[in-house]
């Protein structure tokens, strides 16, 4: 027993040394002086944003004099009675959490909330380690700030945990607080969503581009981190990997800083394309959820859908990348995990079962924003533009690319136009005139489809 304690102590000391060395290396690159802590601020407190900051707090929180991790979220969001009762159950099922709250003199308020004698708020429970979108997975306690200016004005690294639909507005406000700054912060964006801009030419706008436009920061200071990850599983130390994409100067140091034994972070230079792919898989995840619910989880039907939707995604990647085969692995892995357990697939299931309606919007209690809905609209708008015409394989006439993406068209008519019922997704995959998925992929490979202008790149440019 003594030996096991000694070994545990040695392992903890070694981990502390390793994290301290990684922290010092990043501090050196950022030019931080002794006594001036590295300030990391998470903006937005959804499931992934909260987990990401909690991972950093767990890894580096012991070095309080050298790093400070904080999370900004809006004040005033009340926790309803049902969630308060669920929180109480979670707390009492976890002895470590219960003891922690008792030590912090914070347990009584959860008892009172369960009885209906007190109203809890989302920022309040996050300080105790509970994310409103992920109540069943307690996190470490977090430093929470509800004043945006206080949170970001001196931040060295800002983690964008906002939905893409809120990113532009919040970072536009942040710009006001950075007017007097001498140094430029780094941004790590976790957002998976896109917008379409049709004027002067059709193009996709990603969250990193939104941030650059809103703040005036150069794109080399803004990076994207994505991967096939479920937030709660990562915090529970299920093995996972991700990619941080962006400029050479920062992506490798940040990959090293973020890497943990159970969370491997690779790096890649192709920022915009990886971001777009992160938004694309959410589109088809909603349809996967619909198919699963409508066929009573039929493995055969789900595999048919997977085959067809991945062929559409591969076709679309040929429009967006000069070397789309390099994206196949990351895109399919991210799609796979999203179809298995992501919120977009869950949303599709609930719609098909009638447990949710489109009139409820795309911000769902306990789940946050369903980013696949706005992504359906963006990709449809973009790919329906006549200026992007491709050759139809049968009629040999030019058509908009969306005409070769029947699932995307169907999802648009269900979710955006609201012209079709959810069971129309089954008709789309059972259409006898549907192409063999192999044919769509071969069609994409035969034609020169790459349109750099879709990513806002000059003609002939392959880099983001």
Question: Which residues are identified as catalytic?
Answer: 281
**DSSP letter for each residue of 92-140:** HH-HHHHHHHHHTT-HHHHHHHHTTS---BHHHHHHTT--TT-TTS---
Phi, then psi, of 26 in degrees rounded to 5: -70, -40
CA-closest candidate to residue 324, choices 184, 245, 202, 441: 441
CA-closest candidate to residue 454, choices 168, 198, 192: 198
Tokens at residue 59, please? Answer: 């890894």
Q: What is the DSSP letter of 453?
A: G
CA-closest candidate to residue 414, choices 403, 427, 423, 404: 423
Tokens at residue 131, please? Answer: 């994310």
Q: Evaluate whether 68 touches 37 at the Cβ level (below 8 Å).
A: yes
Per this entry, what is the length of the chain? 464
Q: What is the DSSP letter of 386?
A: G
Q: Can the peptide bond before residue 200 be classed as cis, meaning omega within 30 degrees of 0?
A: yes
Tell me how far apart the alpha carbons of residues 225 and 228 are, in angstroms, rounded to a whole number: 11
Tell me how far apart the alpha carbons of residues 415 and 463 are, in angstroms, rounded to a whole number: 33
CA-closest candidate to residue 278, choices 134, 361, 382, 163: 163
- Region for residue 321 given its phi and psi (left: phi exceeds 0; alpha: psi -120 to 50; beta: otherwise): beta
Tell me how far apart the alpha carbons of residues 203 and 455 are, in angstroms, rounded to a whole number: 6
Tell me how far apart the alpha carbons of residues 408 and 308 are, in angstroms, rounded to a whole number: 11
Tell me how far apart the alpha carbons of residues 180 and 170 are, in angstroms, rounded to a whole number: 18
Q: What is the DSSP letter of 263?
A: E
Distance of CA 398 to the CA centre of its chain: 35
CA-closest candidate to residue 297, choices 343, 337, 348: 348
Handedness of CA 202, 407, 427, 410 (dihedral sign): negative
């Amino acid at each position: 027993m003594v030996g096991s304690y000694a070994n545990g102590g040695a392992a903890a000391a070694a981990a502390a040394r390793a994290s301290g060395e990684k922290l010092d290396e990043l501090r050196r690159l950022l030019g931080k002086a002794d006594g001036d802590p590295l300030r990391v601020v998470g903006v937005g407190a959804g499931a992934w944003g909260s987990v990401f900051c909690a991972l950093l707090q767990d890894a580096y929180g012991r070095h309080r004099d050298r790093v400070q991790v904080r999370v900004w979220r809006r004040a005033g969001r009340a926790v309803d009675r049902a969630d308060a009762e669920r929180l109480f159950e979670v707390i009492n099922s976890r002895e470590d959490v219960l003891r922690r709250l008792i030590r912090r003199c914070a347990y009584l308020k959860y008892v009172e909330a369960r009885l209906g004698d007190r109203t809890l708020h989302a920022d309040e429970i996050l300080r105790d380690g509970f994310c409103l979108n992920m109540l069943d997975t307690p996190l470490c306690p977090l430093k929470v700030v509800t004043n945006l200016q206080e949170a970001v004005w001196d931040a060295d690294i800002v983690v964008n945990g906002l939905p893409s639909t809120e990113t532009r507005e919040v970072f536009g406000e942040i710009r006001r607080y950075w007017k007097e700054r001498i140094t430029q912060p780094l941004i790590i964006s976790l957002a998976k969503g896109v917008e379409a801009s049709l004027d002067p030419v059709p193009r996709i706008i990603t969250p990193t581009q939104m941030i650059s436009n809103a703040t005036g920061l150069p794109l080399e200071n803004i990076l994207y981190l994505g991967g096939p990850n479920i937030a709660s599983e990562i915090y529970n130390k299920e093995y996972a990997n991700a990619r941080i994409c962006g400029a050479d100067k920062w992506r490798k140091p940040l990959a090293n800083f973020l890497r943990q034994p159970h969370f491997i972070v690779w790096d890649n230079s192709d920022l915009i394309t990886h971001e777009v792919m992160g938004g694309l898989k959410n589109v088809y995840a909603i349809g996967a959820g619909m198919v699963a619910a409508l066929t009573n989880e039929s493995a055969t039907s789900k595999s048919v859908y997977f085959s067809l939707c991945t062929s559409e995604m591969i076709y679309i990647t040929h429009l967006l990348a000069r070397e789309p085969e390099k994206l196949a692995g990351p895109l399919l892995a991210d799609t796979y995990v999203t179809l298995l357990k992501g919120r977009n697939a869950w949303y599709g299931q609930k719609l098909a079962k009638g447990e949710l309606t489109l009139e409820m919007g795309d911000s769902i209690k306990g789940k946050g924003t369903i980013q696949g809905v706005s992504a359906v609209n963006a990709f449809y708008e973009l790919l329906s533009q006549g200026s992007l015409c491709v050759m139809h394989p049968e009629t040999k006439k030019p058509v908009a690319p969306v005409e070769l993406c029947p699932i995307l068209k169907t999802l648009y008519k269900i979710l955006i136009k609201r012209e079709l019922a959810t069971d129309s997704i089954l008709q789309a995959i059972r259409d006898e005139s549907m192409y063999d998925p192999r044919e769509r992929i071969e069609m994409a490979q035969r034609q020169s489809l790459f349109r750099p202008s879709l990513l806002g790149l000059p003609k002939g440019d392959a880099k983001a």
